[in-house]
Structure 1
Amino acid sequence: MAERILVAVIDSGVHPDHPHIDPTRLRPGFAIGTDGMVIEQGVIPLDRLGHGTAVTAAIQEKAPQADILPIRVFHDALRGSAMALVSAIRMAAGAGADIINLSLGTTNAAHAPLFAEAVAAAPGALVLAAAQADGVPCLPGSLPGVLGVGLDWDIPRETFLWRDGQMIASGYPRPIPGVPQRRNLYGISFAVAQASGFAARIAHERNLRARAALLAALSAA
């Protein structure tokens, strides 16, 4: 039996008891402090903010066969440090992640060299991140070696587009029964998550583990 595709979700952790989460597909992960040091490992880093759980649910909806490696860099708010993100990317690569989901980003260009170094240290993983925020290039999503993701509200959640070297997906997460879409979390975070889910599903269906082969398959889908 082929090894499952592993998707690292760098976010606020995950709540395994949430009804949209399949806990049997969660691997023990990490929590990383703002200084980039590991503060927790070998356990499921619990989500106190809800964002990481919603992102993970969106990925699992599209790729239920994939394993999820949760890495928490957001603790008390949806704010993290560049050092934490860089450490998380390296930890994900070291754990053998095939896909690294970054439903986050920064427009601070000063962080470009640091992020570029981290992405270069993960050559075997497909890193997905937001390409821009309000028209401003976002890091690390606009860097070479990262698959940038764009947002289109008119795309059905069941599909994606490939446009100018980017994956374009809906910004609506997995719906909550009885809750209007605009009352739920939504935005570029979930376009990235859904793009990661589509990538994991195609990787599983076609048994693609090589980054270049998966990129080729996504661009032709």
Structure 2
Amino acid sequence: MTGRPPLVGVIDSGGPEADLAGGRLFLPDGTWVAARPDRLGHGTAVAEVIRRALPDARIVHAQVFQDRPVTTAIQVASALDWLAGRKADVICLSLGLAADRVPLSRAALAAVAAGRIVVAAAPARGGPCYPAAYPGVIAATGDARCDWDGLSALEGGVIGAWCGSPEQGGTGQGGASLAAARVAGHLAARIAAGARFADGAAARDALAGAARFHGPECRGCA
């Protein structure tokens, strides 16, 4: 690997105090303050997955949760704008909003147009989730068939990945949120190794091309 390691933006609940230098906490009115230590542990877990994939990854936290896993479109949009402006190589959102909101769509599409690779959680059940459902955003979901290195190519261009599931030995947090972190880690490791992607669609195609599984997850799949 040459040059500086990839910069990965994590939009979540922050991280431990030692990992917050340069991070920001985005407030519901669109303003921000310096990031605060993670009270939920979710952002910390996401960052650990990314660093397991690429120990040298430069991670910057854009905090949109504090005491509860509840946020707003304005907060997430502000975080996206900031990380896009910082030219993050990969932006990971291990979260999703049920409603399509103008500020969020504008920020997500602007980040994609600026060449940022945006990965967002897409739960396997329920309706569309945003920003995962926006064009150019890589939608990631958990697939119990996938070991740490495995990927799956699912309907609608969704990428399935390791997600800490019990089938793969997981005992803690899991689901689409960790799958998004794992996909972000896959991409960060590829970028560190010299891969270059024209846009999010190209990055998604590269992951799909390396997929071990195709089609929906099912019990007993080989």
Same fold flag (TM > 0.5): yes
Counterpart of 1:168? Answer: 160
Distance of 1:215 and 1:170 partners within structure 2? 16
8 Å contact kept, 1:5–1:203: yes
Give 1:28 shift: 1.9
What is the DSSP-based 3-state SS (H/G/I as helix, E as strand, rest coil) of the residue aligned with 1:4? coil
Counterpart of 1:191? Answer: 179
8 Å contact kept, 2:150–2:161: yes
Give 1:216 shift: 4.1
Amino acid in structure 1 at the alignment position of 2:32? V
Counterpart of 2:16? Answer: 15
Give 1:133 shift: 5.3
The yes-or-no answer on 1:29 pairing with 2:23 is yes
Counterpart of 1:5? Answer: 6
Amino acid in structure 1 at the alignment position of 2:9? A
Distance of 1:166 and 1:134 partners within structure 2? 13
Distance of 2:145 and 2:153 partners within structure 1? 14
Counterpart of 1:117? Answer: 106
What is the aligned counterpart of 1:69 among 39, 56, 60?
60
| Unaligned stretches of 5+ residues in structure 2 | 211-222
| Unaligned stretches of 5+ residues in structure 1 | 18-22, 174-179
Distance of 1:9 and 1:171 partners within structure 2? 17
Counterpart of 2:213? Answer: none
Distance of 2:191 and 2:121 partners within structure 1? 21
What are the residue-to-residue correspondences of 1:135-174 with 2, within 5 Å? 135-164=126-155, 165-172=157-164
- Aligned residue pair count: 202
Aligned-residue Cα RMSD (Å) equals: 2.1
Distance of 2:161 and 2:204 partners within structure 1? 16
Give 1:218 shift: 2.4
What is the DSSP-based 3-state SS (H/G/I as helix, E as strand, rest coil) of the residue aligned with 1:136? coil
Q: Deviations over 1:74-103 (max 9, x none)?
A: 011111111000000001111110110000
8 Å contact kept, 1:101–1:128: yes
What is the aligned counterpart of 1:200 among 173, 188, 212?
188
Amino acid in structure 1 at the alignment position of 2:209? A
Counterpart of 1:50? Answer: 41
TM-score (norm 2): 0.82
Counterpart of 2:85? Answer: 94
Amino acid in structure 1 at the alignment position of 2:187? A
What is the DSSP-based 3-state SS (H/G/I as helix, E as strand, rest coil) of the residue aligned with 1:191? helix
8 Å contact kept, 1:149–1:166: yes
Amino acid in structure 1 at the alignment position of 2:175? G
Amino acid in structure 1 at the alignment position of 2:189? R
Amino acid in structure 2 at the alignment position of 1:172? G
Distance of 2:160 and 2:67 partners within structure 1? 30
Which 4+ stretches in 1 moved above 4 angstroms? none
8 Å contact kept, 2:13–2:65: yes
What is the DSSP-based 3-state SS (H/G/I as helix, E as strand, rest coil) of the residue aligned with 2:193? helix
57 and 16 in structure 1: CA distance in 2 versus 1, 3 angstrom threshold: farther
TM-score (norm 1): 0.83
The yes-or-no answer on 1:59 pairing with 2:50 is yes
